[in-house]
Structure 1
Amino acid sequence: MQPADDGEGGVVYERLYEEYMEGEERAPTASTLAYAEALAERRTFMTEGRSSGGGSLLNDASGPMIYLTMPYGLAGKLSAEAARLADRHGLVCYDSQTEHLRPVHDD
């Protein structure tokens, strides 16, 4: 379910982060696995096979949550694609650094 605004998104993010990233590690959900696979393919394509850091996206996945880190120089392009793919997979993308829901843009 899409949070109503950035504030609600932050509350949901904090709860999920505490439960799934700081708590006991859990196997990623099917939708998280599908999203990570699709994003990994796009990341490799968008970086022309160069390492964009971080290794497997599933290293930072637990239950319904995946915590993405991105290299500074590629963050804009990769985060836009991450938001588009999240939307396609019925997931919500929240940027914890800016404390905003990550909107989907078709640019």
Structure 2
Amino acid sequence: MSYDLAVWEGAEPGDDVEAGTAYDQIYEEYMEGEQFDPTPRIRSYAEALADRWDAMTGGSTSSCGSLLNDASGPMIYLTMPYSVAGELSAEAARLAAEHGLVCYDPQSEHLRPGHQD
């Protein structure tokens, strides 16, 4: 079982409903079908997140492969083991805010703020 987050470039949605609509549109355009090269901001975010997760888990997330494999254009879709999702997702949301990106939990259909939940 895994926990997923979507992170993308764009204006901060006003609420969860607006975020869900934006998520659906961006996911359909960039994650289904043709893949696009990740944008520079998404690439920078993925690299920073991979380094941070590796440090947080003592290297155990390095077996997850490149986070950029799940990035296309202005979006990255993160999948993490449920057993460590609390800590890793909080860091993913914090780094997304630091990089000026939107972080959204598609399972619960909620925006993830960039502070510890």
On whether the aligned pair clears a TM of 0.5, the verdict is: yes
Amino acid of the residue matched to residue 67 of structure 2? L
- Cross-structure match for 1:41: 51
Structure 1: 5+ residue stretches without partners: none
User: C-alpha separation between the residues in 2 aligned to 1:94 and 1:40?
Assistant: 18
- Cross-structure match for 1:63: 73
Q: TM-score, normalised by structure 1?
A: 0.95
Match of 1:93 among 98, 103, 109: 103
Amino acid of the residue matched to residue 87 of structure 1? A
Contact 1:86/1:93 (8 A) holds in 2: yes
User: C-alpha separation between the residues in 2 aligned to 1:43 and 1:22?
Assistant: 26
Q: Is 1:79 aligned to residue 96 of structure 2?
A: no
Q: Which structure has the highest strand share of the two?
A: 2
Amino acid of the residue matched to residue 31 of structure 1? R
Amino acid of the residue matched to residue 13 of structure 1? Y
Amino acid of the residue matched to residue 66 of structure 2? S
User: C-alpha separation between the residues in 2 aligned to 1:54 and 1:12?
Assistant: 27
Contact 1:52/1:71 (8 A) holds in 2: no
Cα displacement (A) at 1:13: 0.3
User: C-alpha separation between the residues in 1 aligned to 2:69 and 2:104?
Assistant: 19
Q: TM-score, normalised by structure 2?
A: 0.87
Structure 2: 5+ residue stretches without partners: 1-10
Cα displacement (A) at 1:25: 0.5
Q: CA RMSD in A?
A: 1.3
User: C-alpha separation between the residues in 1 aligned to 2:61 and 2:115?
Assistant: 25
User: C-alpha separation between the residues in 2 aligned to 1:99 and 1:43?
Assistant: 24
Name which structure has the greater RCO, CA cutoff 8 Å, separation 6+: 2
Task: Go from structure 1 to structure 2 and tell me whether the alpha carbon gap of 1:78 and 1:52 turns closer, same or farther (over 3 Å shift).
Answer: farther
Cα displacement (A) at 1:53: 5.2
